Chains A and B, each alone.
Chain A
Amino acid sequence: MTDPLPTLERLPRGALTLFRILALIRMGLYGAVSFGVALTLSFAGVEHWPFLLPCAVVLGLSVLTAWYPQRAHERWGWALREHDLVISHGVLLHQVVSIPAGRIQHVDVHQGPIERSLGLARLQIFTAAGSGADGEIPGLTRETADALRERLVRREADDVV
């Protein structure tokens, strides 16, 4: 059977840097929390093993940080077609979303401090389906995000709610 998905646009190289920075921040955060737990346990009288906990957490997350961002970057892709926007992503849980063009209610472009410093942006697509974003593409260049947003919002929405 041929691949039913269209040819997908991939994220720029900068997105990989973004994913790696985010993974490092996550590692630092979880490491700090586990260190806090170890400290509490040692004050509570548990002597030897508590500090193995942050070591194990940091070690595990280091392996994950080295492996996961590259894989996630390879998995992200999107395609804007005449009738819909297709987004594909996910390393462990692989997901392909199709959002019909006429159903898009609004589109948001977000830029956090790290994304701003890398010249990247996150595009969020909302339909009437739920409270959160139905589709999200992180790590787009600002120009691509703006152009994509412009294309999406200029399509007239069918009143299918």
Chain B
Amino acid sequence: MSSEGYAALPSTEEVPWKRLSAKAPLAALVPLSATIGRMLLTALLPTYFAGERGLPTVLWIIMVGIAGILLAAGLYEVATLSYRVVGAQLEIRSGVFTRSSRFIEAARVQNTEVLQPFVSKLLGLVEVKVETASGGKADGHLRGLTPEDAQALIHALQSVRGEGAAVLLPGESSPEERVLSEARLGDLLLYGATALGVGVLAVVLSALHEITETFHKLLLPWMETHWEVMAAPGMGWLAATVAALAGLFGLWLVSGARAVLRFHGFRLVDTGTHLRAVGGLITRRQVTVRRVRIQQVVLDEPLLRRALGFGSVEVETAGVRTGKEASERAELLIPVVPTARMPELLREFVPDLPGAIGSLPLRPAHPKALLRARIRAVGLSVLVAAPATWFWGGWGALAWGLLPAQLLGAWFDWRFQGWFITDTLVVVRQGFWRRRTTVVQRARIQSVRARQGPLERGYGIGHVRIDVAGSHVVLPSVGWAEAQSLIDQLPGRRPARRVRPVPDATPLQQVP
């Protein structure tokens, strides 16, 4: 059980149930429709390929029927949902015909999140998400609470845990709290411009495709009348350069817009026992993380951002979130932190850190790890360049230019990684192009594994993976004997206590 104290609770045999606002189904209509729409998107794809004929009417009827039933079921659940904090638990009940109840122990709550999407804002409502360490999504998701009820709920959960932090909703602030970080619009645009993810690339390529399709008919007569100019030598290269620049500009625009949408007005405050982050343009989001639940902190500093003098900080609790990027999986992300302020901010999250990260005597990776990295670089380059040369001849042979680039990259990544162990922390730094420094609390380690692949066996090295709840980090390569001893040393030792004796336990003997 948790060692955290519990406040005295009234005997709660008859604690009344609280209902969501009467406008809750209305607030849930848009997000539920969007979720169902995404689910049915795969089924709608054939329509695109079916061309003008489209899908048979009967299939449309079935699909619309399924969507309608799913939507009605979702709205029914919202309309019948009720909740109460009874004893040390949050109990959520929904359904009339089939009633389901969920119990969430307050002490197990990792973090709470208060959201105010656009429609909810119009209706004067908020959403509350309560996360524990159990699954890929929030264990308690209450859509359509009044701000007062949301405040009362979070306050009740905190009271049960014996915490008295002031509960505030998005947009509110308290004079006692200390501001740790804020993001201005210019910072966010810079953050967006330096974060070109695959998702953004896909959006921009689709947009370019649609634009080309749309304007093709309009451009064609102009192109035909200027055909001689268009076909002049060098115009192909010019067109390609213009297209590439336009694509890059589009990427920056989309990425910047995404950053502003997600973090507009971002503000991180310290309430003493909690860290609270608020931000977002259309959907206002407030995440509250309990300090005692912090598992690991990651400083994310890609080369471009380092050159511009900033990086991002990810704070992870055991709440399990899904997402392609590490920043999407982190419970709390501080998008823009000036490099000079990073040590100070890191100390706020990890007070045990003995000094600034830059001054820690990080141990380098094993020298033989460089050979392994070089072999991998050569293998990867051959895999790409050989088929390219086979299919495209001289032009394809240009792909062999990858080889020196990969070898150089391997050296940089090997040279700039390091690790360091203190009594309470493990610090791991990896990557040169995208430098990520992870600080893990040793007392939070769930398991440690030493691994040795066939190539590593040849060099007598191995690597160590540390798992904490909801995340993991891999140490740079070390000697295999050291890797095996690290699995013993790393977890913060807490002697196991036996609850009760095991008089009848079968002796642990293997049958030969």
Q: Which residues of A contact B (CB under 8 A)?
A: 1, 3-5, 9-14, 80, 82-84, 86, 90, 92-103, 127-131, 134-135, 140-141, 143-144, 146-148, 150-151, 154-156, 158-161
Given A4-B481, A151-B505, A155-B497, also A129-B446 (CB < 8 A): yes
Residue of A nearest to B317 (CB): A161
B507 x A93 contact (CB < 8 A): no
Looking at the assembled complex, report how far the CB atom of A153 sits from the nearest CB atom of chain B, in whole angstroms. 9
Cα distance, A143 to B485, chains bound together (Å) = 31
Cα distance, A82 to B110, chains bound together (Å) = 29
Cα distance, A154 to B472, chains bound together (Å) = 27
Greatest chain A CB density within 10 A among B443, B468, B500 is at: B468
What residues of B have a CB within 8 angstroms of the CB of A103 in the complex? 445-447, 491
Q: Which residues of B contact A (CB under 8 A)?
A: 1-3, 107-108, 110, 133, 136, 293, 318, 320, 443-454, 457, 462, 467-470, 472, 481, 483-485, 487-488, 491, 493-500, 502, 505-512
B107 x A159 contact (CB < 8 A): yes
B2 x A127 contact (CB < 8 A): no
Given A12-B511, A12-B512, A143-B506, also A102-B494 (CB < 8 A): yes
What residues of A have a CB within 8 angstroms of the CB of B293 in the complex? 161
**The 7 nearest A-B residue pairs measured at CB:** A101-B496, A147-B506, A4-B485, A129-B446, A129-B467, A128-B469, A98-B487
B496 x A94 contact (CB < 8 A): no
Cα distance, A39 to B255, chains bound together (Å) = 50
A9 x B494 contact (CB < 8 A): no
Partner of A92, one of B110, B133, B453, B512: B453
What residues of B have a CB within 8 angstroms of the CB of A99 in the complex? 446-447
Greatest chain A CB density within 10 A among B318, B481, B487 is at: B487
Given A5-B484, A100-B491, also A80-B508 (CB < 8 A): yes
What residues of B have a CB within 8 angstroms of the CB of A95 in the complex? 449-452
Partner of B318, one of A92, A155, A161: A161
Residue of B nearest to A127 (CB): B446
Partner of A97, one of B108, B447, B500: B447
Looking at the assembled complex, report how far the CB atom of A93 sits from the nearest CB atom of chain B, in whole angstroms. 5
B481 x A1 contact (CB < 8 A): yes
Greatest chain B CB density within 10 A among A80, A86, A100, A154 is at: A100
A98 x B506 contact (CB < 8 A): no
What residues of B have a CB within 8 angstroms of the CB of A135 in the complex? 447
Given A144-B510, A148-B508, A151-B508, also A127-B447 (CB < 8 A): yes
Partner of A156, one of B450, B491, B497: B497
Residue of B nearest to A135 (CB): B447
Given A127-B447, A129-B467, A147-B506, also A160-B494 (CB < 8 A): yes
Looking at the assembled complex, report how far the CB atom of B5 sits from the nearest CB atom of chain A, in whole angstroms. 13
What residues of B have a CB within 8 angstroms of the CB of A161 in the complex? 108, 110, 133, 293, 318, 444, 469
B133 x A97 contact (CB < 8 A): no
Looking at the assembled complex, report how far the CB atom of A74 sits from the nearest CB atom of chain B, in whole angstroms. 14
Give 20 new A-B contacts, CB below 8 A, not counting A3-B484, A90-B451. A4-B481, A12-B510, A13-B512, A95-B449, A99-B447, A100-B446, A103-B446, A127-B467, A128-B318, A141-B510, A144-B510, A147-B507, A150-B505, A150-B506, A151-B502, A154-B499, A156-B499, A161-B108, A161-B110, A161-B444
Given A94-B451, A98-B488, A159-B3, also A143-B496 (CB < 8 A): no
What residues of B have a CB within 8 angstroms of the CB of A90 in the complex? 451-452
Q: Jot down 7 A-B pairs with beta carbons below 8 A, ordered by A.
A: A4-B485, A4-B488, A98-B488, A100-B445, A100-B446, A154-B498, A161-B133
Cα distance, A76 to B328, chains bound together (Å) = 37
Looking at the assembled complex, report how far the CB atom of B107 sits from the nearest CB atom of chain A, in whole angstroms. 7
What residues of A have a CB within 8 angstroms of the CB of B448 in the complex? 97-98
What residues of B have a CB within 8 angstroms of the CB of A144 in the complex? 506, 508-511
A83 x B493 contact (CB < 8 A): yes
B510 x A134 contact (CB < 8 A): no
Looking at the assembled complex, report how far the CB atom of A82 sits from the nearest CB atom of chain B, in whole angstroms. 7
Cα distance, A100 to B492, chains bound together (Å) = 9
Cα distance, A146 to B511, chains bound together (Å) = 13
Given A101-B496, A155-B497, also A96-B450 (CB < 8 A): yes
Residue of A nearest to B448 (CB): A98
What residues of A have a CB within 8 angstroms of the CB of B452 in the complex? 90, 93-95
Cα distance, A133 to B482, chains bound together (Å) = 25
What residues of A have a CB within 8 angstroms of the CB of B318 in the complex? 128, 161
A96 x B454 contact (CB < 8 A): no
Looking at the assembled complex, report how far the CB atom of B139 sits from the nearest CB atom of chain A, in whole angstroms. 13
Cα distance, A86 to B488, chains bound together (Å) = 9
Looking at the assembled complex, report how far the CB atom of A127 sits from the nearest CB atom of chain B, in whole angstroms. 4
Looking at the assembled complex, report how far the CB atom of B254 sits from the nearest CB atom of chain A, in whole angstroms. 32
B133 x A128 contact (CB < 8 A): yes
What residues of A have a CB within 8 angstroms of the CB of B512 in the complex? 12-13
What residues of A have a CB within 8 angstroms of the CB of B462 in the complex? 94
Cα distance, A92 to B468, chains bound together (Å) = 26
Greatest chain A CB density within 10 A among B136, B450, B453 is at: B450
What residues of A have a CB within 8 angstroms of the CB of B110 in the complex? 161
B498 x A155 contact (CB < 8 A): yes
Residue of B nearest to A150 (CB): B505
Cα distance, A151 to B504, chains bound together (Å) = 11
Given A80-B508, A128-B318, also A160-B444 (CB < 8 A): yes
A93 x B453 contact (CB < 8 A): yes
Cα distance, A100 to B493, chains bound together (Å) = 8
Looking at the assembled complex, report how far the CB atom of B329 sits from the nearest CB atom of chain A, in whole angstroms. 12
B136 x A150 contact (CB < 8 A): no
Greatest chain B CB density within 10 A among A3, A13, A158, A160 is at: A160
Given A13-B512, A155-B498, also A96-B505 (CB < 8 A): no
